[in-house]
Chain A
């Protein structure tokens, strides 16, 4: 295992290096996945292009649309004051990843391009309808996060492109978000299943006006529970209704059984977590609008 190390100091230079090295190169952000894959011998890049000196990739913007630079760390998300309210799901997704050492360096961009179906923050961003911006020699393009990952570890990002940010629309009034994850223990755990939701209530605070539900670790990629979303629209959010939404979500997910849990158990977790996440959203909307 050996490679050349590059430390571009501008986006332009990073893109040029990325384009020059193509599949022989890898961008390095936090390294919590890349370095492990290199140590395991699963990746053997000839060139590693560190993004640590590239300016402009670590910004969080909250005016109008919300935007997270690719190099924003999990720790930054946890400590961002603007995410403590209605966008709380982002904090809840970030704070359950690894230990402090990992969260201090692991980035949003790395989490996304890694395309693990169990990436917690990605599931939250999916519920927020995030769009991604990538930059390559041909310029910038925007890609919906939904559909960005096509299989575990596989995305539609081209080898010469760099993911620069994820952004999503500002939340509507009477909206809250929540995230829950199930694992075998509380720390340093990969999700067995996780669920994020963004819920908007009607003016009477009773019926679902709009909802997005995203599921993690229960399909080859993070996925939206679209049938459950359609079922909820316009319905009053009683316990019975949210439980039914959970049952619907459990039938549309496509989990595998592995060392962490059986497929059946994962589906049961979805059926349980969906109503719990919705209940949290409800509580939060009512708390903040009362």
Chain B
């Protein structure tokens, strides 16, 4: 089977991988690069647990070929904050008890980040709509919404607290 050499810019770092052309970004992230913060579930772009940011936009890594990401900037949950630190969204999710089993949270937080990057002053409806592509079977969403709104306030108060800016 032919493998193609790919250069993926993940969390600001360039990774060279050899991957079969049919493999998804999700698979390469988890299997080849050990970045298992991006979760795998429906594989049909329904549940959002595999959400990553591709050039700043939230996308489902389960239906994106790794080959399509050649040379493009990808942000995963591992790169959201500097090592040992928390992004205001992560801190807010903890503070608001927005996490139960946790499986949906990496995707949820990245979808929220993409939305807050474009909408720094969101209202509740906006946040609900922005997170519609991320399913959570534990929390009932309310605390996730509250945490996201609270993170938006924290980010407005101190924009530099977002430790690392995504390449767009």
Q: Please give the residue numbers on chain A whose beta carbons come within 8 Å of chain B beta carbons, in ascending order.
A: 1-5, 7, 28, 31-32, 35-36, 38-40, 48, 50, 52, 75, 98-102, 104-105, 186-188
Residues of chain B within 8 A of A98, CB atoms compared: 45, 133
Q: Are A100 and B58 in contact (CB under 8 A)?
A: yes
* CB closest residue in chain A, given B52: A101
Per-residue interface assignment for chain B, residues 49 to 85, with 1 indicating a CB less than 8 Å from any chain A CB and 0 otherwise: 0010000011110111101101000000000000000
Shortest beta-carbon distance from B119 to chain A in Å: 11
Residues of chain A within 8 A of B114, CB atoms compared: 100
Q: Count how many chain B residues have C-beta atoms less than 8 Å from C-beta atoms of the other chain.
A: 33
Q: Are B67 and A7 in contact (CB under 8 A)?
A: yes
Q: Decide if B111 is an interface residue (CB 8 Å cutoff).
A: yes
Give the contacting residue for B4; candidates A5, A40, A99; CB below 8 A.
A5
Q: Decide if B22 is an interface residue (CB 8 Å cutoff).
A: yes
Complex-state Cα separation, A36 to B63, whole angstroms = 7
Q: Give the number of residue pairs across the A-B interface with Cβ within 8 Å.
A: 85
- Given A50-B68, A101-B48, A187-B132, A32 and B2 contact (CB-CB distance below 8 Å): no
Q: Are B133 and A102 in contact (CB under 8 A)?
A: yes
Residues of chain A within 8 A of B4, CB atoms compared: 5
Complex-state Cα separation, A31 to B67, whole angstroms = 13
- Given A5-B4, A7-B67, A50-B67, A100 and B111 contact (CB-CB distance below 8 Å): yes
Q: Are A4 and B132 in contact (CB under 8 A)?
A: no
List 19 additional A-B contacts (Cβ < 8 Å) besides A32-B45, A100-B115, A186-B132. A2-B1, A5-B65, A28-B68, A32-B63, A35-B45, A36-B63, A39-B44, A39-B63, A48-B22, A48-B65, A75-B57, A99-B131, A99-B133, A99-B134, A100-B58, A102-B133, A104-B58, A104-B59, A188-B46
Q: Are A101 and B20 in contact (CB under 8 A)?
A: no
Complex-state Cα separation, A104 to B130, whole angstroms = 12
Q: Are B59 and A4 in contact (CB under 8 A)?
A: no
Shortest beta-carbon distance from A61 to chain B in Å: 23
* CB closest residue in chain B, given A95: B129
* CB closest residue in chain B, given A98: B133
Enumerate 9 A-B pairs (CB-CB under 8 Å) in ascending A order: A5-B67, A36-B43, A36-B63, A99-B132, A100-B111, A101-B48, A105-B64, A187-B132, A188-B46
